[in-house]
Amino acid sequence: MPTYKIAIVGAGPAGYFAAQALQNLQSEDRIFAIDMIERLPTPWGLVRSGVAPDHPKIKTVSKVFEKIAADPNFRLFANVEIGSDITIAQLQEKYDAVVVATGSAVGKKLGIPGENLKGSMSAAEFVPWYNAHPDFADVEVPLTSDTAVVIGAGNVAMDVARMLALEPSELDPTDTADHAIDALKASAIRDVYISARRGPEHAAFTSPELRELPKLEHTNVVMNKADIEAAVVRAGAEPEKDVKSNLDAMALIADSQKSEHQRTMRFLFQHTPKEILGTDHVKGIVYSTPNGDVTIKCGLVITAIGYQAANIDGVPYENGKVVNTDGRVKDNLYVVGWAKRGPSGVIGTNKSDAAAVVELMINDLKSPKNAGDISQLLTSQTVIDQIAWQKINEAEIAAGEPHGKPRKKAILRKDLLHLGGF
């Protein structure tokens, strides 16, 4: 029976959904032998290192990933880096098709003065820091001032602002990195601004995320009623469904404001960042607004204004994405997920996206190459395979149990490898 060898680079949602689409198209006449290659010692991508720890339900999709990984024709090669350990060209030579599923890991820049000051950082550093990503364990997050500012009106900005404005003991029953819980418990931050450069009717938040804000038990959430009312007028009599749903959710927030808590999350609209103030570290931020410049004193500024793909040698990039036509890159190279279409959509969006790319990829396939696989390319690397990953997974879950956490994540690579049996 013809067996096609497919390499998927990146073990995040887009990669798993590409594998699932291939598995769904296996038949008695063809088998897809899938090798998934991941730079980190752990799979699951943003489900492990992106999704906010206080949103455990979103992470249950990892059960789907583990089911995909249980297929006898699926192999995991984690802790293997494309570029340094092996190249894309080598994979293209060995495999019938190679799928890039490496996401968008680099935070976009504002391009304003002061952005490089200490205390100014991207969500692309802050989020993996609190989610125990091994490469971000040493990120310095200054939490000594009373005010932080988050820039952007999307769900990432919302996650970041919530993490800063929550009563940190609420994170005890989550899988937040221990170092982040400790730092947030010692944090002096009590006021968190979340700023949008346009009006509420243009915000990229989604309404379920807005609707959960009034449920925060220890945080005041403040939105200016006049801002929302003006947005409703601008949105007109027949706004799009999502816009209406967002404006309704925002009106509820504006109507149900609390002030009794020590911690506050405040929304600013029509605030365009102009300059971050400070000499060696952040002291404030200047916005231009329809009413003139506004300065907010703060010690921490986090930008959550979108991401771009981190480049891999041998893959063409343009505007922060892999150059592609409907997922086809060149020769037998394909791309799925955020690396293909940019950083938009929820985890489930990657399912239909990957299925469409896999369909055209299968139509491109000729007869199997039988040219070997990654095992001939690896020399001295310590590979975390599915069995080693399961050991890590089980050990983390067991370590979390006595603390009422879904897992206690190991953070350093050496600790992850140790849990994996190395």
Amino acid letter, residue 114: G
Torsion of CA 297, 298, 301, 305, to 10 degrees: -40
Find the part of the chain contacting ligand NAP (CB under 6 A) among 85-93, 204-212, 254-262, 379-387.
204-212
Residue 159: C-alpha distances to residues 175, 188, 192, 204, 366 (Å): 15, 19, 12, 13, 45
Among 154, 168, 284, 314, binds ligand NAP (CB under 6 A): 154
Residue 287: C-alpha distances to residues 38, 149, 155, 192, 351 (Å): 40, 11, 21, 16, 39
Burial label for 71, CB within 10 Å (0-12, 13-18, 19+), is middle
Quick check: 354 and 336 in contact, CB under 8 A? yes
Find the part of the chain contacting ligand NAP (CB under 6 A) among 35-43, 62-70, 168-176, 197-205.
197-205
Among 66, 209, 248, 275, binds ligand NAP (CB under 6 A): 209
Supply the minimum distance, in Å, between the C-beta of residue 81 and ligand NAP. 25
Quick check: 144 and 188 in contact, CB under 8 A? yes
Give φ, ψ of 28 to 5 degrees.
Answer: -70, -20
- Please identify the residue of the shown chain whose CB is closest to the bound ligand NAP: 154
Number of residues that bind ligand NAP (CB under 6 A): 24
If binding is defined by CB under 6 A, does position 273 make contact with ligand NAP? yes
Which pair of structure tokens corresponds to residue 237? 């009599």
Rounded to 5°, the CA angle 45-85-70 comes to: 45
Q: Give the x/- contact pattern for ligand NAP in 82-111, rule: CB under 6 A.
A: ----------------------------x-
Supply the minimum distance, in Å, between the C-beta of residue 50 and ligand NAP. 7
Closer to ligand NAP by Cβ: residue 254 or 285: 285
Long-range contacts at 224-227 (CB < 8 A, ≥ 24 apart): 224/254, 224/267, 224/269, 225/251, 225/254, 225/255, 227/199, 227/200, 227/254, 227/267, 227/269, 227/270
Supply the minimum distance, in Å, between the C-beta of residue 209 and ligand NAP. 5
Closer to ligand NAP by Cβ: residue 202 or 244: 202
Stretch 300-319 residues interacting with ligand NAP (CB under 6 A) = 304-306
If binding is defined by CB under 6 A, does position 204 make contact with ligand NAP? yes
Supply the minimum distance, in Å, between the C-beta of residue 205 and ligand NAP. 8
If binding is defined by CB under 6 A, does position 346 make contact with ligand NAP? yes
If binding is defined by CB under 6 A, does position 211 make contact with ligand NAP? no
Closer to ligand NAP by Cβ: residue 59 or 197: 197
Supply the minimum distance, in Å, between the C-beta of residue 42 and ligand NAP. 20
If binding is defined by CB under 6 A, does position 253 make contact with ligand NAP? no
Residues 6+ away with beta carbon under 8 Å from 314:
87, 88, 89
If binding is defined by CB under 6 A, does position 388 make contact with ligand NAP? no
Find the part of the chain contacting ligand NAP (CB under 6 A) among 200-208, 211-219, 400-408, 413-421.
200-208
If binding is defined by CB under 6 A, does position 157 make contact with ligand NAP? yes
If binding is defined by CB under 6 A, does position 320 make contact with ligand NAP? no
Which residue has tokens 């002030």?
259
Closer to ligand NAP by Cβ: residue 21 or 301: 301
Find the part of the chain contacting ligand NAP (CB under 6 A) among 337-345, 350-358, 366-374, 376-384.
337-345
Indicate the DSSP class of residue 153.
S
Amino acid letter, residue 105: A
If binding is defined by CB under 6 A, does position 341 make contact with ligand NAP? no
Closer to ligand NAP by Cβ: residue 85 or 159: 159
Rounded to 5°, the CA angle 47-51-99 comes to: 40
If binding is defined by CB under 6 A, does position 283 make contact with ligand NAP? no
Q: What is the rounded distance in angstroms from the CA atom of residue 152 to the CA atom of residue 76? A: 36
Which pair of structure tokens corresponds to residue 260? 């009794």
If binding is defined by CB under 6 A, does position 202 make contact with ligand NAP? yes
What pairing do the DSSP bridges indicate for beta strands 31-38 and 74-78? Answer: parallel
Among 9, 80, 153, 243, binds ligand NAP (CB under 6 A): 153
If binding is defined by CB under 6 A, does position 198 make contact with ligand NAP? yes
Torsion of CA 276, 279, 284, 287, to 10 degrees: -30
Q: What is the rounded distance in angstroms from the CA atom of residue 127 to the CA atom of residue 114? A: 21
Interaction site with ligand NAP (CB under 6 A): 110, 151-157, 159, 196-198, 202, 204, 206, 209, 273, 304-306, 343-346
